[in-house]
Structures are given as C-alpha cells and as structure tokens.
Amino acid sequence: MGNVVSYAEEAVVVAEAPEAEEVESPEPEKESVEAEAVEEEEPEKRQITLSTSPVDFRFPITNQSRHCYVAYCEAHRCFQQKGEEDSECQRLAKVYRSICPVEWLEQWNEARENGSWWGKY
C-alpha cells in the first residue's frame, strides 16, 4: 500500500498595515511636512498565507479525534527516527498541531516526559 500524498488548501489574505499614530511636535513646520509625506504614501500590504492540514483518506469526515492521535504518534515516531529538524517531521507536526485540541497535546507531552506515554512509537 503506497503513501497517500495530498496537499493542503491555502488561502491568501492581503491585509493593510495599521496606520501610524501621529505624534505632536513642538515645531509646526515639521508637522505639515510630515502630514504631506503620510498622505502621499500608500499603506503597506502584507501577504498572509493560511493553510489547513491536508486531507488524509484514512480518516474521512468522521473520527477526527483518531486522526489527531495518529498524526501525533506519526510525528513523534518521525522525530525519533530522523530528528527534530527533518522537514517531513515538521510537516507531520504541523498537521497534528492544527487539528488537535491544545489540552490534549499538553497532556500527551506531559505523559511522554513522565515516561507514561501509551502510544506506539
């Protein structure tokens, strides 16, 4: 059985940078020069990419809690075999961090640190 490869859907959001607050200066000439410069500048726009975890056909619409658990185990198995800096392991970690509740992750990490982790990896 081959590995299932899929890509996450991505959304691109363009956001305007917040406007800087005007600071009063004691000299009126500088204020008018600064005000003209601010009016001429176009607001900065940043591009933000939002992505979700990829589709895993082993876990259709239902049972996402199991998907969370399996993704967590797969990521930590990968960390043990290849190390923390491996790009594939980082991708797997991103998946479980995006779909698992934070409380679960805290409990599971604590169990791993205490040596009482029940997972298979």
Averaged pLDDT in 10-residue chunks for the chain of 121 residues: 42 48 50 54 74 66 80 92 91 90 94 86 68
pTM of the model: 0.54
pLDDT value at residue 78: 93
pLDDT value at residue 74: 92
CA distance 52 to 76: 20
DSSP-derived secondary structure letter, 68: H
According to DSSP, the residues that pair with 48 across neighbouring strands are 13
Mean of per-residue pLDDT scores for the chain: 72
- For 48, the 3-state DSSP assignment is strand
